[in-house]
Amino acid sequence: MQRARIRKDDVVCVISGTDKGKTGKVLQVMPTRGRAIVEGIRLLTKAQRKTQDNPQGGFAKKEASLSMSKLLLYCPEDKKGVRIRCVKEGQKQIRKCRRCGHAFDN
């Protein structure tokens, strides 16, 4: 198992699959499974049964998890997905863009 370099509330870019090139915010990270749920990416249609709360029933869109190997952190300066490196500054370890040096952790 590899250490997750993507965290909750990060903006990521999808690098392969049907959603290639799309960006979104990470809603949940599952490091033991190596997967993440990203807002607006890999939407599935789920049928909803009629209930008292939802008398119409119908279909709902829901995000499914996708592999973290398909995600790159989105750099706002480069305007694309980039690889990162971890740099120790003082007592904190900060994630930085390999291309421009933009710090992702504040």
Q: Which pLDDT band holds residue 5 (cuts at 50, 70, 90)?
A: confident
Using the predicted structure, report yes or no on whether residue 9 has a pLDDT greater than 60.
yes
CATH number at residue 43: 2.30.30.30
What is residue 58's predicted lDDT score, i.e. its pLDDT?
Answer: 94
Task: Tell me whether residue 105 is in a domain.
Answer: no
What is residue 20's predicted lDDT score, i.e. its pLDDT?
Answer: 96
Task: Give Cα separations from 28 to 24, 64, 71, 81, 98 (angstroms).
Answer: 12, 10, 13, 19, 25
Using the predicted structure, report yes or no on whether residue 87 has a pLDDT greater than 70.
yes
Using the predicted structure, report yes or no on whether residue 1 has a pLDDT greater than 60.
no
Task: Tell me whether residue 65 is in a domain.
Answer: yes
Task: Tell me whether residue 36 is in a domain.
Answer: yes
Task: Tell me whether residue 5 is in a domain.
Answer: no
Q: What is the pTM of this model?
A: 0.85
Supply the range of the domain harboring residue 72: 11-49+60-97
Average pLDDT, the chain: 93
